[in-house]
Structure 1
């Protein structure tokens, strides 16, 4: 597979979207196979992870990028809720804090299911009117509808692409699930940092990410990454290790004959029955217990719509990835046949190339990793993002470039999931969700962490409330120790959180009047 390079950098003010790729000169010939990850020396891993930390710092969300997206979200929420009288919530990579610098914003608006068609038309008209409004507070353009399996109103606000879907409770459930997993894994948000790195490689270097282009969807990629943690968690200490395990494993996976599920490979010949085979490690050292997975499915599975009372079986396609929360949902359904071969080739090439880099003398590893992420660094390498203590204390513009703390906003995720689909008049009561589970292992001192001053700065600029009176992006980060019960997930006694981020108890953090949740205008 030829290495792809972006032909020209994005000019200032251009829209966050893909550029046209063009082939760059081929790399020197590579070995026909890559070394086993366990054969890489500790020194090579140390050098590689050190270089990877610098790469991730160029693309990890910062306070300024998060604040910009927060303002766009609040603006769109205000437009829709003030004109239609509904609830609009963010989901996906922005609230999860795993978006790339070019990432878009995913929102979902809730209304009565029997008026969804007219609801889509109303939202489109509202945004179209704002596009034509010369006095609009924000620059809105390119408003249009996409009549696909999931209906979307798509637009660009302040040069950030915004996708608005309707009644997509699944997006909120997935967000909550991935936050649970990140805290279960711990290690200073290793799961999220790995998502950011692997997304960058898939998007900028290999051009295999993007369901709307017949490629891998973001949730499908996150599920594949989760599988790597599930099987190999004891050997994963940094994002580069996760990336190499990811490429090594899925470059050798028999996609022609098997589906992948969190419980192990599933032979396609067994379908429609989902019969998982024993994972490669024998199933003796899995990260997530059966109880954890079962409880997540019970809490975060989306109830079937009335038109789906006759549940369909898993629909096999080319790249078959079973949704951990809904086993008849194929997360790889967006991948067409041509893209399937491209993805498999990318995995094989990436594994061989990265394996070759990790086999080099230590002093060469950093330079070669920078070449491995050449497109990423060409596009974003000049954005100096630092969490330097002096910058955080200065209060100037430089302080806005400190890296965003990756801890999840559990209070708002929980609130959105509880109240999002339960508009006034609904016969269904909101579910009760537990506090987040803890990491099963103490967090280590890690150079990826931000300074306490940076966290305090983050807290100060993100503690505002949105138009509807509900805080979005507000966090309570403290250095103190804390314990929370996770019996519902792990069946174990409480364990100290170590030095990790304190997560406030969701039970007391959002005791707000119902008017603040739904808005007085629609009660």
Structure 2
């Protein structure tokens, strides 16, 4: 595959006209100012990222539901989403999924709903506001210790996604650049611009994660930290042509070249997956003819291998069979290329997103052009709602006060997730639904799934990060020190486990 490269001011006129989203700012920012800005952004991040006591609270809730379901209904419950990935906000909910035979989902949902309702007022976990949403995807919503909990059934896609995202974070390294960037960008989307929430016709958390992953993938060598990722995110999507392109992990793709494989509802087999990839590779080639190339860390080969290892066969539910359902906002699910992660966004809200990105980009650019001390103060104003909500020493997910903004820091959660546990949950889910080892491990591999996993994991961990390259004449965001962010912002030794860093030129 031809790699994408960062756009420059020397881009051809045809490229800039056909894809304005690839034209990045030429604003030059002094290295020392970026250091100051990233440090202040990290201080803001300290107030919203997971902390040790919030991890404990959420783990207790997860264990409570798992025990309740196991004892009363005799089946397993798995945690997925931003909580186990360690990218949740203080207001973030807990996502759980119950394994059950597919023809028993409704009965199980009603039974569990009744059990939780009976717990209201009877349990020390303070279960309240229990409701059963009987939609295509059945969900039980409730609050436990005032934290929102969503319980779905057989949500295997969530287990696939967390395996993929955890591995991606490890490959990018640099003290969890991906996760820290996602938390900061999620905070801006949720607290500042109010554009996060699939249930209200806005963007979903997983869709946002893929948008952030796209930015880091094509801008990795030039990113100094989470603030640089936010800057690129806002600038890039402010000018993205959503009418013409959709977003994938490794590049934008012409909507007109997306696959349209009509047919009856059927299981997506390995043959179908290959067919989908063939169409997407053709689409990417067509795209590269029109646009200047970007260099990427994670290419379609890596995503293909992840999809082979993690994905779970599902029934196609779209009107056009296995085709990609085009919507006003189009984001390709890296683990299922016929799933549009932007499907929840309405036509009117696409305009809202564009306006938010444009306004956010302008405001942040104005902040970054100010002198050091003024810039730090204005950056706090840029995250004014975030700090007003979380910077006073109160968090929704802990009972006792925590360290307020500007007065120190609480004990951070370990951002490295339990990849082995996530993968084991996925394997169990595959087994539960009749997927044997031979169904999903690449053909010709006569070995255990752990051997295959470890080989794949080591291969991508050791060889996926490219060497640094020149940044051309685009936005100058210098690479900062590889010193651990926990060391930079703490007086005590870091508790973080060391992760591989990107090779340096």
Task: Return the alpha-carbon distance in structure 1 between the equivalents of residues 335 and 66 of structure 2.
Answer: 28
2:174–2:502 Cα contact (<8 Å) kept: no
Within a 5 Å distance, the mapping from 1:91-102 to structure 2 comes to: 91-102=80-91
Helix, strand or coil at the partner of 1:162: strand
Closer/same/farther in 2, CA of residues 308 and 212 from structure 1, 3 Å limit: closer
RMSD: 3.0
Matched, 1:361 2:339: no
Task: Return the alpha-carbon distance in structure 1 between the equivalents of residues 289 and 333 of structure 2.
Answer: 17
Matched, 1:410 2:410: no
Task: Return the alpha-carbon distance in structure 2 between the equivalents of residues 344 and 370 of structure 1.
Answer: 23
Distance apart, 1:121 and its partner CA = 1.1
Within a 5 Å distance, the mapping from 1:261-340 to structure 2 comes to: 261-271=248-258, 272=260, 274=280, 275-276=283-284, 277-278=287-288, 282-283=292-293, 285-305=295-315, 311-340=321-350
Distance apart, 1:282 and its partner CA = 3.9
TM-score where L is the length of structure 1: 0.74
Task: Return the alpha-carbon distance in structure 2 between the equivalents of residues 35 and 265 of structure 1.
Answer: 15
Choose the corresponding residue for 1:40, options 10, 29, 39: 29
Distance apart, 1:446 and its partner CA = 2.6
Task: Return the alpha-carbon distance in structure 1 between the equivalents of residues 345 and 212 of structure 2.
Answer: 17
Closer/same/farther in 2, CA of residues 37 and 184 from structure 1, 3 Å limit: farther
Paired position in structure 2 for 1:78: 67
Distance apart, 1:36 and its partner CA = 1.7
Closer/same/farther in 2, CA of residues 281 and 366 from structure 1, 3 Å limit: farther
How many residues end up aligned between the 2 structures?
416
Task: Return the alpha-carbon distance in structure 2 between the equivalents of residues 80 and 399 of structure 1.
Answer: 40
Within a 5 Å distance, the mapping from 1:66-145 to structure 2 comes to: 66-131=55-120, 134-145=121-132
Paired position in structure 1 for 2:474: none
Task: Return the alpha-carbon distance in structure 1 between the equivalents of residues 26 and 290 of structure 2.
Answer: 15
Distance apart, 1:373 and its partner CA = 0.3
Distance apart, 1:135 and its partner CA = 3.5
Matched, 1:153 2:136: no
Task: Return the alpha-carbon distance in structure 1 between the equivalents of residues 77 and 291 of structure 2.
Answer: 43
Paired position in structure 2 for 1:521: none
Task: Return the alpha-carbon distance in structure 2 between the equivalents of residues 261 and 307 of structure 1.
Answer: 21
2:238–2:354 Cα contact (<8 Å) kept: yes
Helix, strand or coil at the partner of 2:203: coil
Paired position in structure 1 for 2:362: 352
Distance apart, 1:283 and its partner CA = 3.6
Task: Return the alpha-carbon distance in structure 1 between the equivalents of residues 246 and 24 of structure 2.
Answer: 25
Choose the corresponding residue for 1:204, options 167, 187, 191: 191
Distance apart, 1:420 and its partner CA = 2.6
Closer/same/farther in 2, CA of residues 114 and 354 from structure 1, 3 Å limit: same
Task: Return the alpha-carbon distance in structure 2 between the equivalents of residues 400 and 47 of structure 1.
Answer: 18
Choose the corresponding residue for 1:213, options 178, 197, 200: 200
Q: Which sections of structure 2, spanning at least 5 residues, go unmatched? A: 1-22, 261-278, 396-406, 442-448, 468-480
Helix, strand or coil at the partner of 2:135: coil
Task: Return the alpha-carbon distance in structure 1 between the equivalents of residues 482 and 34 of structure 2.
Answer: 17
Task: Return the alpha-carbon distance in structure 2 between the equivalents of residues 86 and 156 of structure 1.
Answer: 21
* Greater RCO, CA 8 A, separation 6+: 2
- The one-character-per-residue Cα deviations of 1:95-141 (angstroms, maximum 9, x if unpaired) are 0000000000000011111211111111111111111xx44231001
Choose the corresponding residue for 2:483, options 419, 438, 445: 445
Q: Which sections of structure 1, spanning at least 5 residues, go unmatched? A: 1-33, 386-397, 457-476, 482-496, 501-523
Closer/same/farther in 2, CA of residues 410 and 354 from structure 1, 3 Å limit: same
Distance apart, 1:454 and its partner CA = 7.1
